[in-house]
Structure 1
Amino acid sequence: MQKITLIVATRNKGKSKEIQEYLQGFPVEIKDLNDFGPIPEVIEDGETFEENAYKKASFTAKVLGLPALADDSGLEVEALHGAPGVYSARYAGPNATDEQNNSKLLEALSGKSERKARFCCVLSLAVPTGPALTYEASCEGVILEAPRGTNGFGYDPLFYYPPMKKTFAEMTLEEKAQVSHRGKALKELKDEFDKVLKWLNMRLAEEKKILGLGEDICVH
């Protein structure tokens, strides 16, 4: 059975590794943007995670001519009225490091006792002609006053998950996958992936007809 090439629309190797783990065993070849030359940057100006996830997936699919899976995720802190939200990756500036974003968050929460937060994730799987599937999930936790753990990325060292008494950065990849916002969304995608493959095959076959390539080269 011929594999479908699926592009994970990120250069973040941590994200693409998580997604690759989830889709092991399915007839898909997972690549990410590191496997390609320079392509234009997507302007993430959506007001929601869903808008940004779709923009990234759709843009990548159109540019590369292959199905693309994009994740837009972020941290919403109750005491900060949902900030940093869609600006999570660039909270401390356009090219901010994880450490800079974490420092700014700690500064914003300095002196605050209310530290409830949640991680949100939206996955968008798009084909080059535009249609997409959407999956979303969240995870509730608390922001600590200092980072703990060396695993993960982003705000993981500050995000404490009470049921496991660990930050995301203290968890193994397997532990995090069971409870994280992205892990839950990916599990939903994985559970439906047989149907997703049928949807992809149908859409890709339609695109080939539109391009005049005939009906006899449907991807299997």
Structure 2
Amino acid sequence: MQLYFATGNQHKAQEVEAILRARGADVEILMHKGEEPVESGSTFLENALIKARAAFAATGAPSFADDSGIAVEVMGGAPGIFSAIWSGGRDDKTNRDLLLAQLIDIPEENRAAAFVCTMALVDDAGEVSVTGVWPGKIATQASGEHGFGYDPIFIPQGFSVTAAELEPEVKNSFSHRAMALQQLASLLTSR
């Protein structure tokens, strides 16, 4: 099966491909080329649909996209859909450093957070969406060499290390993106 994954983010493309491959899926991932559509939605779902619809319109092939980010409870769910540009740019370290600075006086027990990933699939049969939520908390400092984005400051529930300290195979079996992809794979099988 050939699916178009509407992303310009190489990290996401590699992670999605690894997760699907580990689940035995025979899917070719085609990355977005050229100018990406403007993510003008106010929710993860709206932004995922914008990208998936644009990819489907451009290719005619079944297309899916995700919008994901970190939601910090004490911050009312922020950075949320603004996670990738939280500091005003797309630099992962600068975004992490800003979030850590914003939480500097918040004790560890009040740093609950979750990674959220909403995926939308658009094909001839219509549109469907799924969401994966990976609960945890924000660490007090960055640690770990794996992953990307907020992984070095996110401690998943049930773990004592950050997502960036987990081996990629371990992270890819529990993450918000893995949860969403598992649901998406089930939907594809039923369609």
Q: So what's the TM-score if we normalise by structure 2? A: 0.90
Residues 19, 173 of structure 2: 8 Å contact kept: no
**In the alignment, what sits opposite 1:105?**
99
AA aligned to 2:117 is: C
Shift of 1:193: 3.3
Question: In structure 2, which of residues 8, 15, 40 is the aligned counterpart of residue 18 of structure 1?
Answer: 15
Shift of 1:119: 0.9
Work out whether 1:44 is the aligned partner of 2:43.
no
Q: 1:109 to 1:148 in 2, by over 3 A?
A: same
Q: Say how many residue pairs are matched.
A: 187
AA aligned to 2:30 is: K
The separation in 2 between residues aligned to 1:32 and 1:49, in whole angstroms, is: 19
**In the alignment, what sits opposite 1:209?**
none
Q: So what's the TM-score if we normalise by structure 1? A: 0.79
Residues 84, 95 of structure 2: 8 Å contact kept: yes
Residues 2, 29 of structure 2: 8 Å contact kept: yes
AA aligned to 1:115 is: R
Shift of 1:11: 1.8
Larger radius of gyration: 1
Q: 1:147 to 1:69 in 2, by over 3 A?
A: same
The separation in 1 between residues aligned to 2:125 and 2:184, in whole angstroms, is: 19
Residues 8, 36 of structure 2: 8 Å contact kept: no
Name whichever of 57-66 and 116-125 sits farther off: 57-66
Shift of 1:130: 8.7
Sequence identity (%)? 36
Residues 117, 132 of structure 2: 8 Å contact kept: yes
Give the superposed CA RMSD. Answer: 1.7
Residues 137, 182 of structure 1: 8 Å contact kept: yes
**In the alignment, what sits opposite 1:73?**
68
Point out where structure 2 has 5 or more consecutive residues left out of the alignment.
Answer: none
Q: 1:156 to 1:62 in 2, by over 3 A?
A: same
Point out where structure 1 has 5 or more consecutive residues left out of the alignment.
Answer: 200-220
Residues 79, 86 of structure 2: 8 Å contact kept: yes
Question: In structure 1, which of residues 118, 122, 137 is the aligned counterpart of residue 118 of structure 2?
Answer: 122
Residues 58, 130 of structure 1: 8 Å contact kept: no
Deviation sequence 1:93-135 (CA, Å, 0-9, x none): 1x320001001101111211121111111011112x6921211
